[in-house]
Amino acid sequence: MLRLRMKFLGILLLCSFVSADFPAKTFKVELKRPSSYRWKGLSKIIDATAVRTAISDLARRSIQPENMYFLARKIAVKALSRLPKSQKKEIVGLAKELKTDIADIMLFNFLYERTTFRDGTSIIAQDSNGHIFHGRNLDNTYSADFRNLTIEVQFVRRGKVVFQGTTFVGYIGLWNGMKPYKFAITANERDAGGWWESMVAARSGNLPVSWLVRRTLERCKDYDSALYRLVGTPLINGANILLSGIEKDQGISITRNRLGPQYMAILSNKTNTWYLVDTTADPGTDPSRKDTRSTAQRSLDETGQKRICLNELFKVLSVPKVLNRETIYTTVMDTAQPSQYKSIIRTG
């Protein structure tokens, strides 16, 4: 009887570990290298043929109506010529490394996000000692295509990590990232009109939000300067951005349109606001997203401020609804303990 029970327990244990989730691969970008060579070697860690197909499919699907694809490609190539030199060189180098079409890479960087990265859950939580944890799920309608494109990128100078982040092969931007001991950012797109509007904004020098995330991590020295840049830099679309630091109450949720903020909310231990949850839906709009937000909030309330830690945050991001079929990956970050940075690809 006992043996039977042991066997049963063993099977149960096994079940709870049989999960197809896996950590994202890591790629190192040496910042001292010229821009054209930054992504050299990337094709060695991925299945380049599959990536090529995925990028060109996704670029095509980002254009509606479909017969505008050829026009969009032309505009994308024009927009490339107007980019700052270092970004232009990086994109050209990346297209060469992946052996993909340059127009598709541009569309992928500038447009695809517009139609798809509208979902997901981002959370900043502060424990009773003022220690801050930051995490996110990135959801997308085409999650199957994106799982294999997810990578962690460490930007290093002479071998030392200056900042790191999570993104998809083919993007030069980051969807979330961390500057060790300084600050962490998660970002999502908000829908903001037709692809041509984004293209017009791009021609005026506005950035895709993923580029802004990377630039902020690259150039800002501290939480305050990061905040200033994230709030005020013109974007090609609206975005929801969460920024956290390492000091007590350093946490803010910024809901943005192209030119600036629409709503903001901050952490405040004094008023018991110990977490911020962002589910991308504008307050009062999409009911299913509101549902996701309340599920995450309920789960945080059950966990409690005293118990919150990186593991518990990961659990909150794994509660059904918060974790769903469209979830591509989960990242958790502890800026005060940078080695804890972790991106896990979710498979259901």
Contacts with ligand NAG, residue ranges (CB under 6 A)? 47, 50, 128-130, 144-145, 148, 248, 269
- Cα–Cα distance between 26 and 198 in angstroms, integer? 30
Q: Is residue 258 within 8 Å of 204, Cβ to Cβ?
A: no
Tell me whether residue 148 or residue 337 sits nearer to ligand NAG (CB atom): 148
Least separation in angstroms between residue 302's CB and ligand NAG is: 17
Residue 322's CB is within 10 A of a number of other CB atoms, namely: 24
C-alpha R_g of the chain: 20
Least separation in angstroms between residue 16's CB and ligand NAG is: 24
Least separation in angstroms between residue 337's CB and ligand NAG is: 17
DSSP 116: H
Tell me whether residue 194 or residue 304 sits nearer to ligand NAG (CB atom): 304
End-to-end alpha carbon distance in the chain: 34
Tell me whether residue 51 or residue 94 sits nearer to ligand NAG (CB atom): 51
Tell me whether residue 116 or residue 292 sits nearer to ligand NAG (CB atom): 116
Tell me whether residue 112 or residue 341 sits nearer to ligand NAG (CB atom): 112
Tell me whether residue 86 or residue 268 sits nearer to ligand NAG (CB atom): 268
| Long-range CB pairs of 91-94, under 8 A, 24+ apart, other chains included | 91/172, 92/36, 93/35, 93/36, 93/37, 93/38, 93/39, 93/40, 94/38, 94/39, 94/42, 94/170, 94/172
Helices (H), 148-222: 195-203, 209-219
DSSP 238: E
Tell me whether residue 9 or residue 50 sits nearer to ligand NAG (CB atom): 50
Q: Is residue 139 within 8 Å of 326, Cβ to Cβ?
A: yes
Least separation in angstroms between residue 53's CB and ligand NAG is: 8
Structure tokens at 140: 């997308």
Least separation in angstroms between residue 55's CB and ligand NAG is: 12
Least separation in angstroms between residue 132's CB and ligand NAG is: 11
Tell me whether residue 138 or residue 209 sits nearer to ligand NAG (CB atom): 138
Which residue's CB atom is positioned nearest to ligand NAG? 130
Least separation in angstroms between residue 311's CB and ligand NAG is: 20
The b-or-e profile of 168-196 (16+ CB within 10 A means b, else e) is bbbbbbbbbbbbbebbbbbbbbbebeebe
Least separation in angstroms between residue 272's CB and ligand NAG is: 6
